[in-house]
Chain A
Amino acid sequence: MGASRRSTALVVISTALVALWVILAAFPFLWTLWGSFKVQGDFFSRSDWMNALTGPLTQEQTGGAFTGQGYWGAWVESGFWRNVVNTGIVVVCTVVISLTLGTLGGYALARSGFRYAFWLLMIALVFRAMPHITLVSGYLLPFFEWNLWGHLPTAIIVLVAINQPFTLWMLHSFFLNIPKDLDESAMVDGCTRFQAFRHVIMPVMWPGVITTGLFSFLLAYNDFAVTAMLLSSENQTMVPRIASFLGSVQQEGNVMFAVAAVVSATAPLFVLILFFQRQIVSGLTAGAVKG
């Protein structure tokens, strides 16, 4: 599809469409980024939304056009860094364990020609339909009884389990696209199934694994239902903590702490997406997803 062969009108239209989309996609975030340096009365101004841009109250209350109060409040006063560390632990462990279990299972599902493999996949898919909030409410009592509640490993295992159907499905379709001959010829040469997997499949599976990993990453990173209900406050991750900045019926929250925290929480994702952008695309290209 060489660009040279296309009519100018088409190029203009499609570029305009993409430009419009990029604006729509990025605008709320850029707005939030700008507003995170204002005070609440400006960013959430009821009198005039222009205040979020110009910041008259910020000027009045802090003496400058921009203020780092939200960031200071979230990171220093409220110790948001602890939640960041917790999120780091939860996300890294969830992704690593999910992928380890998922590659083994997905490989088996792709290579087993039996009908039960298909049914297993289907059941896993229907499992995924269960609303998380019902699952989590069911966990509470046994977890408290067995003293498992509140700890990071518990939340990690639950997140791994909840993400397994998706991970299995994606990796299974990925392995389907790796030619069977590859590992079967290794087995003819005397490798066991696991050795074949270890030495022949593993080196070529990374693009698919990275793509799947990114989706697991996002699921774990943005999760609220599981982490809010299963972690005690000292082990809390970022998203429930941000929710608690918003306050309750009774008490006004520190909304600007939440806004600043969200901007900071999104920053590592930027780095991640920039870094893995090529891998996501090449991973998907290698056929990670097929219906």
Chain B
Amino acid sequence: MPHRTFLWFILPSLTAMILFIALPIVSVVIQSLHVEHEQVLVTVENCGPFGCTEETRVDRAATEALREAQPLGRFNGLGTYLDRRHLATAEVAEAWRSSETMGQFWGRLMNLPFYKALAFTLAYTFIVTPLVLVLGLAIALGVNGLPRLMRGPTIFFSLLPMIVTPLIGSLVLFWMIDADGVIGATLARLFDDPNLSLKASPTLTWITIFVYGVWHSAPFAFIVFYAGLQTVPEETLEAAMIDGANRWERIRYVVIPHLMPLAVFITLMQLMDNFRVFEPIVGFQAQASATSLSYIIYSDLRGDVQQFGSAAATSVLTILGVAILLAPVLVRTWRDFNRKRA
């Protein structure tokens, strides 16, 4: 396809992405390299319904003058990236020097917000993604084996976890897993431990969020795999059967290779979405035990003072993280692409 035609076809899509994604990313990167101007503070008397107090405020005129001179703020280079709330290079080096055992170092590392969040994010990504793939495939194979009449309703119910708004899905589940809720109470009876609480211990909170993640994403993998199963070449399967392959061998050597491209697609999407895990943390109010990179960004942007610079730095680090995670898949796609060109 000539370059010109290509450009005309892609132009509308490209314009939208440049305007609303690329330009904001550029601005985010620039913001992450700057910090706010020095805020000139003055002490004044503030009064209200509850009396008067001496408090400080920002001296507007003085601060405004600084801002006019440099509208972006003070250039800080990678300072924000390296401070305690992000990569915390100084703190990590200090912990490395002063720790005697790896365990001690790990403990200190986990006390730093970024690494704590990264640990959960990675654990979530690498536990939930494979489980989603396996569960999705298992359900797809199971549904495929059902009588035709049963398949429709089954597919329909299977998709429910994906289509119920996560906000409310997690609210209802949060109540259900309460010690007094239906799931929490049932589990307590099952394990014969009346004090069992899924919300109190960090480990159980992590497991709860993982289970929720698998539950929520499995339908996506299921529907993609199920569709793929419809196109498994019948002849190959029959040939394999004539050669004496049992059911497992047929799945292993015929079905799975056929579904491989779909598995790559699901992995790609899941890695990316799981790395940005956020809703279940807020939905399950799990901030005390589990934070993710997206949660740190949210926490910076919420509240009374919005910390754009810090959120911007974490966002850039998130993008880099996703790029690293996806690298193997991307290399594979690049090879395929070149093979097709050849």
Contacts and interface: CB of A to CB of B under 8 A. Distances in A.
A95 to B, nearest CB: 14
A127 B29 CA distance: 13
Interface in B117-149: 135, 138-139, 141-147
A132 B331 CA distance: 26
A105 B247 contact: no
A290 interface: yes
B207 to A, nearest CB: 16
Contacts of A157: 16, 20
Contacts of B143: 18
A153 B305 CA distance: 29
B270 interface: no
B159 A273 contact: yes
A137 B276 contact: no
A281 B172 contact: no
A45 interface: yes
Interface string A121-142: 0101111111101110111000
B1 A193 contact: yes
A18 B27 CA distance: 48
A209 to B, nearest CB: 14
Nearest to A50: B182
A14 interface: yes
Interface stretch (B47-55, B67-75, B227-235): B227-235
B276 A15 contact: no
A3 B145 contact: yes
A47 interface: yes
A274 B156 CA distance: 7
A4 to B, nearest CB: 12
Contacts of B260: 291
B166 A49 contact: no
A120 B321 CA distance: 19
B109 interface: no
Interface stretch (A60-68, A74-82, A107-115): A107-115
Nearest to A165: B17
Contact of A161 (B20, B152, B158, B315): B20
Given A25-B219, A137-B311, A161 B17 contact: yes
Contacts of B16: 101, 157, 160-161, 164
* Main SS class of interface, A: helix
Interface in A264-291: 265-266, 269-270, 273-274, 277, 280-285, 287-291
B323 interface: yes
Interface in B154-177: 154-169, 171-173, 175-176
Given A104-B9, A289-B224, A131 B294 contact: yes
Contacts of A269: 163
Contacts, number: 267
Interface in A230-244: 239, 242-243
B81 interface: no
Contact of B301 (A3, A18, A137): A137
A44 B180 CA distance: 9
Contacts of B231: 285, 287
A230 to B, nearest CB: 11
B157 A47 contact: no
Contacts of B1: 108, 111-113, 193
A107 B336 CA distance: 18
A10 interface: yes
Contact of A262 (B135, B141, B168, B228): B168
B308 interface: yes
B95 interface: no
A29 B330 CA distance: 37
B145 A15 contact: yes
A114 B3 CA distance: 9
A70 interface: no
Contacts of A18: 139, 142-143, 146, 154
B227 A281 contact: yes
Interface in B192-242: 215, 218-219, 223-224, 226-228, 230-232, 237, 241
A251 to B, nearest CB: 17
Contacts of B224: 284, 289
B97 to A, nearest CB: 34
A108 B5 contact: yes
A134 B315 contact: yes
A109 to B, nearest CB: 7
Contact of A284 (B228, B275, B276): B228
17 contacts: A15-B142, A24-B215, A31-B172, A31-B176, A48-B180, A101-B13, A127-B21, A139-B20, A157-B16, A224-B167, A242-B168, A274-B152, A284-B226, A289-B265, A290-B261, A291-B268, A291-B333
Interface of B: 1, 3, 5-6, 9-10, 12-14, 16-17, 19-22, 24-25, 27-28, 135, 138-139, 141-147, 152, 154-169, 171-173, 175-176, 178, 180-182, 185, 215, 218-219, 223-224, 226-228, 230-232, 237, 241, 247, 260-265, 267-269, 272, 275-276, 278, 293-294, 297-298, 301, 306, 308, 311-312, 315, 318-319, 321-323, 326, 329-330, 332-334, 336-337, 340-341
